[in-house]
Amino acid sequence: MQAKPHAKILGTGRAVPEKILSNADLEKMVDTSDQWIIERTGIRTRHIAEPGTGVAQLAAAAARNALDDAGLGPQDIDLIIVGTVSGDYKFPATACLVQQQLGIEQAAAFDVSAACSGFLYSLRLGESLLRSGDFRRALIIGGEVLSSQVDWSDRNTCTLFGDGAGAAIIGPSQDESGILALHLQSDGRHAGLLINPGCGSANPPRPDNLHLHAIRMEGREVFRHAVAAMSDGLDRVLGKTGLRLEDIDLLIPHQANLRIIQAVGKKVGMPEDRVYVNVDRFGNTSAASIPMAIDEARRSGRIAPGHLVAAVTFGAGFTWAAGLIRF
C-alpha cells in the first residue's frame, strides 16, 4: 500500500491588537515595576485587545495573512481548527465565527481546548485528518484574548499575558518538507495549578463569585513542570524521527516567560542563538505563541527553506506538545 502524503505548512500569518501595554503602564495600575517584571519574566510590552474584541476577529485577520502567504483563497479551505481557551462565546465555536468572517462555505470547523498547547494539538489533529483523505487543506489557528481573563490587581499574572493570533495553512506535501513528527501529552493531576475556575458549569457566573473568573497560577510549580515537560517532549519527538538536536536549525519554545525559555534551552543543550525569543514584545499569548513566532521567524529570515524547526509548548491541564517541521 502506498503511504499517504504527509502535511506541510503552505503559509503563515499573525495578528495582534494595536494597543501596546508597557511595563511603565502597568506600574500605574498595580504594585509592580519595570525592573521587577523584566527580572522575573523578560517581558517589556504586550498587545492588549480593546474591550469587546473577541478572539475570532484576531484569528480571522491572522488567517487572511496566512491565505495571502499561501496564495490561496477561502474556497481552498475545507477544515478549520482553532486552539483557544478564550473564545468569543461558550458556543458556537470560535472556528465557526472565523468561518463566517472569511466566507468559507464548505468546511468543517471546531475548537480545541488545550491552553498554551492549543496550536500544536490542533496541528496534530489537522495533519491526521488530512492524512485520512477526507480533507484537502486545513486552516490551523492559535488565538487568545487572555486579557479578558486577567485579574488586573494580581501582579503575578496580569504582567504576563498578551493577546494575539497566529495561523497556518497546511496541505499535502510531495517532497521532503512538512510536519515530520508531533508528540502530545498531558497530566490532569496538576489541573489546579494553572486554572480559571469560573465561567464553567462548576462555577457558573453569579454576583457572589465573580472573583473566580480570572486566571490563577502557582508560578513556581508551573515553572518546574514546564521545563521538564518541554524538554522531555523535544526528546520524544526527536526519537520518533531519528534526528538529533544538532540537526535543528531553530528551536521555538512557548513564549511563557524568558526564564522558562532559557531553562529549556539550557536543559536540552541548545545554543542561545538557535532559540527563538519574542516574549519581550508580546508576552505570553498562550495558544497564539507558537504560530505567531513561526510566522515572525519566517518573515524575518530566521526560518529559511530547508530549515528544520522544533516547537515545544506547555499549558494548563497540564498539557504539553512538541513538533518537528521541515520548511
CA angle (62 as vertex; 58, 67 as ends), nearest 5? 145
Catalytic residue, candidates 65, 96, 254, 257:
254
Beta bridge partners of 326: 178, 308
Query: β-strands 178-186, 79-83: how paired?
Result: unpaired
The single-letter code of the amino acid at 206 is R
Known catalytic membership, residue 158: no
Three cell numbers at 175? 517532497
Q: Which of 23, 47, 96, 116 is catalytic?
A: 116
Measured between alpha carbons, how far is 88 from 153 in angstroms, rounded to an integer? 23
Known catalytic residue at 278:
no
Q: Which of 189, 227, 251 is nearest to 314 (CA)?
A: 227
Instruction: Say which amino acid occupies 210.
Output: L
The alpha carbon torsion through 182, 217, 60, 65 (nearest 10 deg) reads -60
**Is the distance from CB of 317 to CB of 189 less than 8 angstroms?**
no
65 is catalytic: no
Determine how β-strand 79-83 pairs with β-strand 138-144.
Answer: parallel
Closest by Cα among 2, 297, 322 to 180? 322
Residue with cell 519574566: 41
Residues serving a catalytic function are 116, 254, 284
